[in-house]
Amino acid sequence: MVIFESQYNPPVAFFAELVGQDTLLLEAHDHYRKQTYRNRCLILTAQGVKPLTVPVVDGNRSEKIATSSIEIDYRQNWVHQHWRTLQTAYGGTPYFEYYADYLHDIYYQRPTLLFDLNTQLLRLYLRCLRLRPHVEFTQSYVSSYPSQRGNSPSQPLLDRRDWLTPKAAVADQPDRTSGRAYPQTFGVQFVPNLSILDLLFMQGPAAGAFLT
């Protein structure tokens, strides 16, 4: 079992940690934190790595609110901006059209809560990667978990909350990079720590093989 916070289009390393896990526990009761993967992801464009950020309501006081209660700010035209950016960056990749309709449907449902948007996207990516962990949600906040869940050594709990951060990705910390290199659209040197979208658009149904 592994526990993660809710993330927007999580990086490849998020899914690499799920390989072989029976259960994914999503943290639903932590306080929201700005400048994290909770509401942003990193993609590769012709100009280099670009963050895509989902704006949230009451951003100045958001860190006092549970992540699962954070509302998306649709006063900003972010859905159109993110979609156009993805089309520009990945429209020419082998598998963009393969996944485009599924993604478009989720984005344009305009869910109220960031947690719901992230969860819908997560379930799509799990299906695409053929990962089948049972997804559960925390019932209360626990600041730290023991290495074993309960007294059963057969159910180890791996705490990966805030293990992955955009700042670490920019610094290219090797201990936060998982998975194998794969061909990318732009540049010559492989860029790690990108959103799972980058891998899916390039490798399609074979993407799961690059997680280990």
How much of the chain exceeds pLDDT 90, in percent? 81
Q: Distance between alpha carbon 54 and the CA centroid of its chain, in Å?
A: 12
Cα–Cα dist 107/80, whole Å: 9
- pLDDT value for 190: 93
pLDDT per residue as tens digits for the range 137-186: 999 999 988 765 444 555 689 999 999 998 866 554 444 556 789 999 99
pLDDT per residue as tens digits for the range 125-135: 999 999 999 99
- pLDDT value for 61: 74
Q: Which residues contact 205 (CB under 8 A, 6 or more apart)?
A: 128
